[in-house]
């Protein structure tokens, strides 16, 4: 068990070093040494999971400490975490971390048994471009149904501001903003006049960010030295709080089957969407979701089209944004963009 745990911690350290969290890379190196020495980390993490890599046990451990630092219960750690108003001077944060574990043993026992739950707001940039394409193609207002929505933040995509340099979308005073640096030139065409007439979303384990606990929980999963990402998530949470939207607690297959049972209403484009979700769905959930889409697609027509839009893995470096459109006859399949996993580098591929 300790060997696989150590492997999970070392892999996570390498990944943090590679994708921009030197603070966590350093801390995880210290935690690995603590496990090897049979310290408190070994005691807290032992037996938590048979598959510590798969279950992201190191991230659960780090997030528990981050949560305590964010709520003011771990001041020594907060002083080292930029997300908590502190500053990291490059020295080893492990002693402060381990002291926090010792002071809050029960909170860690609970925290390391709770799943990591993320909602990556950066993915909104490619989704907004995809919704723009649907709006332009159909000339209809949009009904958006998101599955695997986590805290539902991406369902607020039209409340964020996008500016590719040549096209804009969203309120000019939006709290969440995406500039031209998110898009590989020449970038997509955006449709500033598109309208969302209905939005619903669901997740099997939703997080309610209108509660303080839900907000801090989501923030705790962002790495404390990734300030831009942290600020974007916090701004998206503020947006969600200003426009309450319940993330329904449901399995994606069941929920879509219910939502699409009556077909698609005339006068709107119904868009089912998701990002980095498909791989987490059990096989029967996927089958049910596909079947619900295909059945509703049979009744779709140009005045009541159905679109399945998904941002899902393509290669180790990027995800694809794909659309399937039912509007009568055979469904139309489009690969419209490539994008980094956190939403950066939107490369628009669709011509027309
Ligand atoms: C990696 S997160 C992605 C969240 C969000 N779509 C995003 O892009 O930030 C995957 C999400 O899928 C959800 N999920 C896993 N299995 C599910 C299921 N059977 N039905 C619905 N949601 C599920 C998880 O709870 C989690 O919120």
Six-digit token string for 60: 């659960």
Cα diameter, the chain? 66
**24 alpha carbon – ligand 1 mean position (Å):** 24
pLDDT recorded at residue 332: 97
Residue nearest to atom 11 of ligand 1 (CA): 148
Share of the chain above pLDDT 90, in %: 96
CA of 276 to the centre of ligand 1 (A): 7
Read off the DSSP letter of residue 331. P
C-alpha separations of 332 from 297, 306, 327 in Å: 11, 11, 8
Ligand 1 atom having least distance to the Cα of 207 = 27
Phi, psi of 333 (to 5 degrees): -110, 130
Ligand 1 centroid – CA 77 distance (Å): 30
**C-alpha span between 139 and 308 (Å, rounded):** 17
Residue 139 CA, ligand 1 centroid: distance in Å: 30
Cβ–Cβ < 8 Å for 312, 276: yes
Confidence of residue 130 (pLDDT cuts 50, 70, 90): very high
Closest protein CA for atom 1 of ligand 1: 276
Phi, psi (deg, nearest 5) at residue 183: -120, 135
Query: Which atom number of ligand 1 is nearest to the Cα of residue 146?
Result: 6
What is the reported pLDDT for 1?
A: 52
User: What is the average per-residue pLDDT within 127-136?
Assistant: 98
Ligand 1 pocket check: which of 56, 155, 202, 280 to mutate, most ligand atoms within 8 Å of Cβ?
Answer: 280
- From the DSSP assignment, how many helices (H) and strands (E) are in the chain? 12, 11
Averaged pLDDT for residues 85-91: 96
Average pLDDT (191-203) is 97
User: Residue 351's pLDDT band (boundaries 50, 70, 90)?
Assistant: confident
CA distances from 178 to 19, 128, 157, 160, 208 (A): 20, 11, 11, 8, 24
Pocket probe for ligand 1: among 149, 203, 207, 313, the residue whose CB has the most ligand atoms within 8 Å is 203
CA separation for the pair 31, 29 (Å, rounded)? 5
pLDDT value of residue 47: 92
Report residue 352's pLDDT band, with 50, 70 and 90 as the boundaries: low
- Alpha-carbon distances, residue 15 vs 12, 63, 171, 236, 335 (angstroms): 5, 16, 36, 26, 29
| Residue whose CA lies nearest to ligand 1 atom number 24 | 148
Computed over every residue of the chain, the mean pLDDT equals 96
The percent of residues in the chain predicted with pLDDT above 70, rounded, is 99
The answer, yes or no, to whether residue 86 has pLDDT greater than 70, is yes
Please answer whether residues 188 and 164 qualify as being in contact, where contact means their C-beta atoms are separated by less than 8 angstroms. Answer: yes
Give residues (CB < 6 A) around ligand 1. 117-120, 123, 147-150, 154, 203-205, 251-252, 274-277, 280-281, 285
- How many other CB atoms sit within 10 Å of the CB of residue 47? 9
- Which residues are CB-contacts of 106 (< 8 A; sequence separation ≥ 6)? none
Q: pLDDT tier at 350 (50, 70, 90 boundaries)?
A: confident
Spatial neighbors of 86 by CB under 8 A, at least 6 apart, are 78, 79, 80
Residue 97 to residues 63, 104, 188, 282, Cα–Cα distance (Å): 11, 11, 44, 36
Average of per-residue pLDDT across 88-107: 97
Residue that is written with structure tokens 């619903």 in the block = 200
Q: How far is the CA of 280 from the centre of ligand 1 (A)?
A: 7
149: closest CA among 225, 222, 249? 249
Residues 161 and 168: beta-carbon distance below 8 Å: yes
pLDDT band at residue 3 using 50, 70 and 90 as cut-offs: confident
Domains of the chain, residue spans:
2-111, 121-348
- What pLDDT, on the 0 to 100 scale, is given for residue 158? 98
Q: Please check the confidence at residue 162 and state whether its pLDDT lies above 60.
A: yes
**Distance of alpha carbon 294 from alpha carbon 263, whole angstroms:** 10
Which residue CA neighbors atom 14 of ligand 1 most closely? 148
Contact, 241 vs 113, CB < 8 A? no
**Cα(286) to centroid of ligand 1, in Å?**
12
Residue 316: its pLDDT value, please? 87
Nearest CA to ligand 1 atom 9: 119
- Helical residues (DSSP H) of the chain, grouped into ranges: 2-18, 22-36, 40-45, 57-70, 75-78, 94-103, 105-111, 124-138, 212-220, 227-242, 252-260, 283-298
Structural domain 121-348, CATH architecture: 3-Layer(aba) Sandwich (3.40)
301: Cα separation from own chain's centroid: 32
**pLDDT in the model for residue 38:** 96
* CA-proximal residue: ligand 1, atom 13 (nearest): 148
The residue nearest atom 12 of ligand 1, judged by CA position, is: 148
pLDDT band at 9 (very low <50, low <70, confident <90, very high): very high
Q: For residues 170-204, b (16+ Cβ closer than 10 Å) or e, as one string?
A: beeebbbbbeeebbbeebbbbbeebebeebbbbbb
Residue nearest to atom 8 of ligand 1 (CA): 275
- pLDDT tens digits, 209-266: 999 999 999 999 999 999 999 999 999 999 999 999 999 999 999 999 999 999 999 9
Region 291-296 average pLDDT: 98
């Amino acid at each position: 068990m300790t060997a696989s745990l150590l492997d999970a911690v070392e892999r996570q350290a390498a990944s943090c070093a590679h994708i921009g969290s030197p603070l966590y890379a350093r801390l995880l190196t210290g935690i690995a040494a603590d496990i090897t020495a049979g310290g408190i980390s070994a005691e807290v993490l032992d037996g938590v999971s048979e598959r510590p890599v798969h279950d992201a046990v190191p991230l659960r451990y780090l997030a528990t400490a981050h949560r305590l630092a964010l709520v003011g219960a771990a001041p020594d750690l907060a002083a080292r975490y930029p997300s908590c108003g502190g500053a990291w001077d490059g020295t080893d944060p492990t002693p402060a971390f381990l002291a926090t574990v010792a002071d809050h043993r029960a909170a860690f026992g609970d925290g390391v048994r709770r799943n990591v739950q993320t909602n990556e707001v950066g993915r909104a940039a490619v989704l907004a471009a995809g919704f723009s394409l649907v709006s332009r193609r159909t000339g209809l207002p949009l009904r958006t149904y998101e599955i695997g929505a986590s805290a539902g933040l991406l369902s607020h995509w039209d409340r964020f501001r996008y500016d590719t340099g040549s096209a804009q979308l969203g309120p000019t005073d939006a709290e969440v903003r995406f500039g031209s640096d998110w898009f590989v030139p020449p970038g997509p065409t955006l449709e500033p006049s598109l309208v969302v007439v209905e939005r619903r979303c669901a997740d099997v384990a939703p997080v309610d960010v209108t509660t303080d606990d839900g907000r801090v929980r989501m923030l705790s999963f962002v790495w404390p030295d990734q300030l831009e990402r942290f600020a974007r998530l916090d701004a998206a949470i503020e947006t969600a709080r200003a426009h309450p939207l319940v993330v329904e607690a449901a399995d994606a297959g069941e929920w879509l089957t219910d939502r699409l049972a009556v077909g698609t209403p005339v006068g709107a484009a119904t868009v089912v969407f998701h990002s980095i979700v498909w791989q987490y769905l059990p096989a029967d959930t996927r089958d049910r979701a596909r079947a619900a889409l295909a059945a509703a697609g049979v009744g779709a027509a140009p005045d009541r089209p159905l679109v399945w839009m998904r941002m899902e893995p393509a290669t180790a470096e990027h995800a694809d944004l794909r659309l399937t459109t039912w509007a009568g006859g055979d469904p139309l399949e489009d690969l419209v963009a490539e994008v980094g996993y956190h939403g950066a580098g939107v490369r628009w591929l669709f011509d027309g």
